[in-house]
Amino acid sequence: MYKSNFPVFFGLFCFFLFQNAGLFAQNEKLDDPFVPNSHLVRQTSPAYHMEGLNYWTVQVNVDPNGKNIVGDAANEPSLAINALDPKHMVIGWRQFDDVSNNFRQAGYAYSTDGGQHWTFPGVIDPGIFRSDPVLDADAKGNIFYNSLTLDTIFHCKVYKNEGVGNWDAGVDAYGGDKQWMAIDKTKGPGKGNIYEIWSFIYTACQGGNFTRSTDDGASYEACTVFDSESHWGTIAVGPEGTIFVSAANGTVARSANAQFEGQTVLWDILPADLGGQPQAFVQNSPNPVGLLGQTWIASNHAENALNGQLYLLCSVNPGNGDPVDVMFNRSTDNGETWDLPMRLNDDDPNAPNWQWMGTMSVAPTGRIDVVWLDTRDNPGTYLSSLYYTHSYDGGLSWMPNQRLSMAFDPWIGWPNQQKMGDYFHMVSDSTGANLAWAGTFTGGQDVYFTRIEALNPSAVQDLAAPTLMLPAAPNPFKEQCTLRYQLKESGVVRLDILDALGQTVRIFDAGMQAPGTHALLWDGTDGSGQRLPTGIYYSRICLDGKVTGIGKLVLMR
């Protein structure tokens, strides 16, 4: 076992060394005064919304009327979901009331309908500088909000949700920049433990970078060191209560006894292969003074053969001229050894595209979900679109990459910082993924929630469903094709045609129909009669307003 216990003078020496080496240029800092600026009296514009084949996206930081607030900025979102009521969600973010002022606060919004609508009450501790939000939930339905602040030195407070939209006064949790937090949701002795890590340098702990709470967040133990080189990583709790910490330096820290109250936490520091170098502060990049992706670690809790597998994901420089790829790796022996890294973005490996802000989560069923921002659709620019893929077999094979958004410009809306934040956050469930992310679709930086329904390659169409999309003919087609479907019960039928982005381009309202096989003719035009271009399209059947079948079409002009 590896155990670190650095003396105080070494931490102070490192603090002085890094400060005078100019490395503090990229850390969080208080550089503008607070100026009261209520979002309730701001100019507004339409909020962003998009619906696709198997996903939908809504803007989170909206006013009470659901409108976009003009002139503010929001980034670095983190998501937590109530374990007892999954429709209750909270997203926290860095809230900049005025894009021209770099003072930020602990913004948050909540949803009580599974993310379809969001209420933005304001901020925690109004007028107090807060940054780097990290949220998580325990197994009892409590939601915790970890927030970094800086007065004379960096430290964190963790707030506990006391009902929808209400928070307690917060508990001091040591911490520093950049912190992450995870809560043990297993049934073992560590259930309810809260673990927190942060950078070894930017902290009130004089060199410490780990703490834990063993009393459900009522207090936090004195901070200790687990690895002085670790930063820009996350925490995973394994099925047996072992905790794992990833880092941008290519290591994984592991503690099997952190779950036991009263024991001195012991660590193993294990090498891991990310397939390249994680990137940060690359001036000519989509996110010049931010991370291009932190290092994610996740453990598989599925009650099947995947149980206990450990996964790493990061946007890294692969060293072949391609600036950033999303790379994945896995371990089947608690991090002792790792497979060969796997590239998840399926664009041309020789194309200099940016696949940045890679983010991962694992469903209770064992499915692995991954998203990132991608410039492949606009080569030679930083214009980025959200992409998604997922794996059902522990990362051995992956579904084709799916584009989930239009392209946006990450270089607009900067709040006196040339970045769109340092991370996104995703939480998976048995049928899909819930994502908190940032973009600039309204002309400024905003926070979005996207619900993604995972498509199972072996069950894209459920044979037990009340409808069944039958093969279209011809397909591919040039002028027209016959769309066929089968109803197993009566109902009001609507057939939608969607483009490759999931945008609806044509709607056929068939009305009430009886059970049996039905067909209609589509001539490759949109709702206004305009001929659509060559491409991939989808037919989506809805019975009584519910999507019950999907088919794929190829139009060739």
Residue 471 is predicted with a pLDDT of 79
Q: Which two tokens mark 114?
A: 């599974």
**184 close to 191: Cβ distance less than 8 angstroms:** yes
- List, in sequence order, every residue forming a beta bridge with 93; answer none if it has no partner: 107
Residue 18 is predicted with a pLDDT of 36
Least confident of 113-122, 160-169, 415-424, 428-437: 160-169
Instruction: State the Cα–Cα distance between residues 417 and 421, nearest whole angstrom.
Output: 9
Pairing assessment for the beta strands 481-487 and 143-150 based on DSSP bridges: unpaired
CA distances from 243 to 186, 266, 370, 492 (A): 11, 11, 21, 51
Question: Which residues, in sequence order, are CB contacts of 22 under 8 Å at separation 6+?
Answer: none
Residue 538, pLDDT > 90, answer no
**33: pLDDT confidence band, cut at 50, 70 and 90?**
confident
Cα three-residue angle 271-273-274, rounded to 5 degrees = 130
Residue 517 is predicted with a pLDDT of 86
Cα torsion through 388, 389, 394, 397, rounded to 10: -160
Residue 474, pLDDT > 60, answer yes
Residue 465 is predicted with a pLDDT of 64
Average pLDDT, the chain: 90
Cα torsion through 411, 415, 416, 420, rounded to 10: -50
Phi, psi of 165 (to 5 degrees): 80, 5
Domain 8-453 has CATH 2.120.10.10: yes
Residue 53 is predicted with a pLDDT of 81
Reported as a single tens digit per residue, the pLDDT across 152-208 is 788 999 999 977 778 999 999 999 999 999 999 999 999 999 999 999 888 878 778
Reported as a single tens digit per residue, the pLDDT across 132-147 is 999 999 999 999 999 9
What are the E-state strand segments in 368-414? 368-374, 385-391, 402-403
Longest dimension (CA), the chain: 80
Reported as a single tens digit per residue, the pLDDT across 64-75 is 999 999 999 999
Residue 400 is predicted with a pLDDT of 85
What would the mean pLDDT of 33-50 be, rounded to a whole number?
Answer: 85
**213 close to 207: Cβ distance less than 8 angstroms:** no
Residue 357's CB is within 10 A of a number of other CB atoms, namely 29
**11: pLDDT confidence band, cut at 50, 70 and 90?**
very low
What would the mean pLDDT of 231-251 be, rounded to a whole number?
Answer: 96
Say whether 467-555 and 8-453 share the same fold: no
What would the mean pLDDT of 323-327 be, rounded to a whole number?
Answer: 97
What would the mean pLDDT of 434-439 be, rounded to a whole number?
Answer: 98
Q: Which DSSP category does 233 fall into?
A: B
**26: pLDDT confidence band, cut at 50, 70 and 90?**
low
Question: Which residues, in sequence order, are CB contacts of 11 under 8 Å at separation 6+?
Answer: 200, 205, 206, 207, 208
Cα three-residue angle 319-320-322, rounded to 5 degrees = 95
Reported as a single tens digit per residue, the pLDDT across 80-113 is 999 999 999 999 999 999 999 999 999 999 999 9
Instruction: State the Cα–Cα distance between residues 557 and 274, nearest whole angstrom.
Output: 43
Residue 95 is predicted with a pLDDT of 96
DSSP labels, 261-295 = TTSPP-BEEEE---SSEE-B--SSSSSTTSBS-PB
Residue 461, pLDDT > 50, answer no
Instruction: State the Cα–Cα distance between residues 357 and 373, nearest whole angstrom.
Output: 6
* Three-state secondary structure call for residue 450: strand
Helix (H), strand (E), coil (C) string for 62-90: ECCCCCEECCCEEEEEEEEECCCCCCCEE
What would the mean pLDDT of 220-245 be, rounded to a whole number?
Answer: 95
CA distances from 360 to 116, 370, 372, 475, 496 (A): 22, 5, 9, 35, 31
Domain residue ranges in the chain: 8-453, 467-555
Residue 205 is predicted with a pLDDT of 84
pTM: 0.83
What would the mean pLDDT of 55-68 be, rounded to a whole number?
Answer: 95
Pairing assessment for the beta strands 368-374 and 355-362 based on DSSP bridges: antiparallel
Residue 344 is predicted with a pLDDT of 96
**Alpha helix ranges (H) inside 367-526:** none
Residue 27 is predicted with a pLDDT of 64
Domain 467-555 has CATH 2.60.40.4070: yes
Residue 8 is predicted with a pLDDT of 37
Residue 491, pLDDT > 60, answer yes
Question: Is 422 exposed, middle or buried, given 0-12, 13-18 or 19+ CB atoms closer than 10 A?
Answer: buried
Residue 435 is predicted with a pLDDT of 98
What would the mean pLDDT of 201-225 be, rounded to a whole number?
Answer: 91
Residue 39 is predicted with a pLDDT of 67
Better-scored residue on pLDDT, 331 or 547:
331
Residue 99's CB is within 10 A of a number of other CB atoms, namely 17
Residue 211 is predicted with a pLDDT of 97
- Tokens 């891991």 label which residue? 272
Residue 19 is predicted with a pLDDT of 36
